[in-house]
Chain A
Amino acid sequence: MPNSGTKHTVKAFDTDINELRGMVAEIGGRSEQAIAKAMRALQKSDLELAAEVVREDKLIDDLERRIDELTFQTIALRAPMADDLRELIATFKISGVVERIGDYAKNIAKRVPVLSQGKKLGPVSLLPSMSQVASELVHDSLEAFARRDAVLAEDVSDRDQVVDDFYTSIFRATITHMIENPKDIGQAAHVLFIAKNLERIGDHATNVAEMVYFAAKGEQMPERDKGENPADYIADSNIDNKDT
């Protein structure tokens, strides 16, 4: 039985819940922005913008703490039940996941100074498109939360495969580049980490989507069909590397 939007008799409860929804929207918006800024800094070798992403991550951390405090208080004081309880549990977990997304953006930004030295490696050209898709997943998962939209949540979960496919492509291209250009191995390793961060951002967007689904429907999202798992390729490529 999903939330019908009917108001609570105790209006202060609605005030708490609305404040939390506002804060979740804000932490989501800030995380999306952090990804976008980090990627722009990477493309333009803008060290100042990269430093700004690192600085602003504190705001995301603060928001997470405030969301957790208010969720905790609301559970303690309002004794929520049913969809209210599910929403608050989801809020509590989503704040932690979105904060991690911010950390990944920060981690990308921290790699900008190293990658801005020397020429750009070929595989880097795939990163903006990958980040675009990952960012959309973050946006849509939080949109699904705002709208209590289990269908959109399932869609996000399905689309994570696109991010995984990007990761596999970039992984292959980068490994090939490393083999052919051993002197670039240091930079190439950073490219791999950035791709991995974006892949994790996609996974976390899926985690948010799963919690939205749970909050809306009161049951876990059914297992989704997964395509090729990047981890399988990595395991295979290790064997390939030994042969090389």
Chain B
Amino acid sequence: MDDMTSGDIQESGVSSAEGASQSISAGDGPPKMTTRNVNVFYGEKQAIDNVSIDVNMDNVTAFIGPSGCGKSTFLRCLNRMNDTIPIAKVTGDITLEGEDIYAPQMDVVQLRARVGMVFQKPNPFPKSIYDNIAYGPRIHGLASGKDELDHIVETSLQRAGLWNEVKDRLQDSGTALSGGQQQRLCIARAIAVDPEVILMDEPCSALDPIATAKIEELIHEIRGKYAIVIVTHNMQQAARVSQRTAFFHLGTLVEYGVTTDIFTNPTEERTRDYITGRYG
């Protein structure tokens, strides 16, 4: 990481593409995660250009933008998923509760438990429903016995709105569930390790409208318990589920603000052209 101290992080105000000034604030309440002047390079190619943004617990934050704009790349910086790509290089400052997540002493496995992730395609383990949920708490040593583990499995499935549908078949394979149920299983799996932040990368793009509505309702239910960041291609979905929206374009953050403002009266012309369907 750059040699900026956390003091600098707090003071380095706005910096974004082309000098456009806009809010980086997540709104009221202390930010759960802060990012300052983040750049991502894939080899020579710069995928993210100087992005600064805060997210907090009170608001669901949506990242929108055309394909290739960098929104997923940026999301993946928040739990160091880009570490798995050898040519990826991340600079700038990203903190979780004030802690630099790219600091050498940061345990990446622990970090990914605190900052969970749900992907586009549901990816349950080829194990039972029960074991899908119990896996994380077991490896992180979060349960001291069978009863406690049962409790974690039940509450996680309840929070993910799946308990009533699977409580009588916890030993069935997770992969036998429907797509929407599998995605809620993946959210339950993320919840099971008691994360602080949940990142969702197009969690509904493989789901039908009813399964999508259930996920959106679930996001609404768990808002406030976790800081939630969702990347979506579906602008209506961003409008429905989020309180803060960030619009990315060509690796830059064009505009970040209150979702109702972004969708009724955006400040930047590029945002307007994108959300009204005048892009490209």
Interface residues of A (CB under 8 A from B): 1, 4, 6-10, 13, 79-86, 218-219
1/0 contact string of B252-280 vs chain A (CB within 8 Å): 00000000000111111101110111111
- Is B265 a contact partner of A82 (Cβ separation < 8 A)? yes
A-B contact number at CB 8 A: 49
- Is B263 a contact partner of A82 (Cβ separation < 8 A)? yes
Q: Does B235 contact A (CB under 8 A)?
A: yes
- Is A81 a contact partner of B278 (Cβ separation < 8 A)? no
Please report the C-alpha to C-alpha distance between residue A219 and residue B267 in the assembled complex, in whole angstroms: 12
- Is A86 a contact partner of B265 (Cβ separation < 8 A)? yes
Q: Is the interface of A mostly helix, strand, loop or mixed?
A: loop
Q: Does B236 contact A (CB under 8 A)?
A: yes
30 A-B pairs with CB atoms under 8 Å apart are A1-B265, A1-B267, A1-B269, A1-B271, A4-B273, A6-B273, A6-B278, A7-B278, A8-B277, A8-B278, A9-B277, A9-B278, A9-B279, A9-B280, A81-B263, A81-B264, A81-B276, A82-B264, A82-B265, A82-B266, A82-B275, A82-B276, A83-B265, A83-B276, A85-B263, A85-B264, A86-B265, A218-B264, A218-B265, A219-B265
For residue B23, give the distance in angstroms from its CB to the closest CB of chain A. Answer: 16
Interface residues of B (CB under 8 A from A): 235-236, 239, 263-269, 271-273, 275-280
Please report the C-alpha to C-alpha distance between residue A8 and residue B276 in the assembled complex, in whole angstroms: 7
For residue B170, give the distance in angstroms from its CB to the closest CB of chain A. Answer: 40
Please report the C-alpha to C-alpha distance between residue A6 and residue B275 in the assembled complex, in whole angstroms: 13
Assuming the contacts A6-B273, A79-B236, A83-B272, asked whether A1 and B266 have C-beta atoms less than 8 A apart, the reply is yes
Please report the C-alpha to C-alpha distance between residue A9 and residue B280 in the assembled complex, in whole angstroms: 7
- Residues of B within 8 Å of A84, CB to CB, are 276
- Is A81 a contact partner of B275 (Cβ separation < 8 A)? yes
Contacts A8-B277, A82-B276, A84-B276 given; 17 further ones with Cβ under 8 A?
Answer: A1-B267, A1-B268, A1-B272, A4-B269, A6-B278, A9-B278, A9-B279, A10-B277, A13-B277, A79-B236, A81-B276, A82-B265, A82-B266, A83-B265, A85-B263, A86-B264, A218-B264
Please report the C-alpha to C-alpha distance between residue A126 and residue B124 in the assembled complex, in whole angstroms: 81
Please report the C-alpha to C-alpha distance between residue A7 and residue B273 in the assembled complex, in whole angstroms: 9
